[in-house]
């Protein structure tokens, strides 16, 4: 089966994010960028499905600025077969990305779409669910285990109370959680091979999708500094402070 894996270019997870002086957003100039960690997990799972003989082709897709092709090349180095880049210089919101992905799914006809449950830059956790809704496909979110059984997909997902197991009929959308797998490092030979793998470039206009933003960013600010704590002598003093000062009990 063909597997489609959307990947996103984000500020590296180990880089301290800085807010722009005018409060219009976060600083991305001269900042290290990398693939979203949850997207790495999604790519790794797709590659494992291919190594197990379940997947026949892996298509990596990214939507964003031209530099997002670097993110696709990383996915190709990890084991994806080819890439598709939808270029857009304006900010893309989850609904716009979901519409772009739907157009690509209609074009590529994959049986499975695996993507990260959320991106670490905005933590929206919306694109996968929106894509499933637009396609009318079953979905398994927060997946920690994926198995193919009798033409169906068995997905173990993480919920507040523990684990939940779903059986999905294909085609389906699955979003990867942290414990699904441990992504591999791309070897140097595979990085060199990735440069020769096909990468198709298109625009939202080519797909007939309107990606105009529907939200307006009013202001972006740094989180407030954490206040210092205090020590208490005993439990009674703690209870007193919680009741009279913090007023939480």
In CATH terms, the fold of domain 2-244 is Rossmann fold (3.40.50)
Q: Mind listing the pLDDT tens digit for each residue in 88-131? A: 988 899 999 999 999 999 999 999 999 999 999 999 999 999 99
pTM, full prediction: 0.89
Interatomic CA distance for residues 81 and 28, integer angstroms:
29
User: Could you give the CA distance from residue 150 to residue 169 in angstroms, rounded to a whole number?
Assistant: 10
Helix runs in the chain, H state only: 37-51, 69-78, 94-108, 127-135, 188-194, 204-207, 235-244
| Residue pLDDT, tens place only, 38-84 | 999 999 999 999 999 999 999 999 999 999 999 999 999 999 999 99
Tallying the residues shown for the chain, one arrives at 249
Handedness of CA 98, 104, 106, 109 (dihedral sign): negative
Q: What is the pLDDT of residues 147-178, one digit of tens each?
A: 998 889 999 999 998 999 999 999 999 999 99
Determine contact, residues 12/32, Cβ cutoff 8 Å.
Answer: yes
pLDDT category at 18 given cuts 50, 70, 90 is: very high
């Amino acid at each position: 089966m063909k597997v489609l894996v959307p990947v996103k270019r984000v500020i590296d997870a180990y880089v301290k994010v800085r807010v722009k002086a005018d409060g219009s957003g976060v600083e991305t100039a001269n900042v290290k960028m990398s693939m979203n960690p949850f997207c790495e997990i999604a790519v790794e799972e797709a590659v494992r499905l291919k190594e197990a003989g379940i997947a026949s082709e892996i298509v990596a897709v990214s939507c964003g600025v031209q530099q997002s092709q670097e993110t696709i090349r990383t996915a190709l180095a990890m084991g994806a077969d080819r890439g598709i880049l939808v270029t857009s210089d304006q900010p893309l919101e989850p609904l716009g990305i979901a519409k772009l992905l739907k157009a690509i799914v209609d074009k590529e006809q994959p049986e499975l779409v695996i993507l990260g449950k959320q991106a670490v830059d905005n933590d929206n956790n919306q694109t996968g669910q929106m894509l499933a809704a637009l396609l009318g496909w079953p979905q398994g979110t927060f997946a920690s285990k994926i198995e193919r059984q009798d033409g169906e997909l068995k997905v173990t997902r993480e919920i507040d109370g523990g684990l939940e197991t779903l059986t999905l009929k294909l085609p389906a959308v699955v979003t990867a959680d942290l414990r699904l797998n441990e992504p591999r490092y791309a070897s140097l030979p595979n990085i060199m091979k990735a440069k020769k793998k096909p990468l198709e470039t298109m625009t939202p206009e080519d797909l007939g999708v309107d990606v105009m933003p529907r939200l307006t960013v009013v202001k972006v600010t740094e989180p407030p500094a954490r206040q210092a704590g205090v020590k208490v002598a005993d439990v009674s003093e703690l209870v007193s402070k919680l009741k009279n000062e913090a007023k939480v009990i």
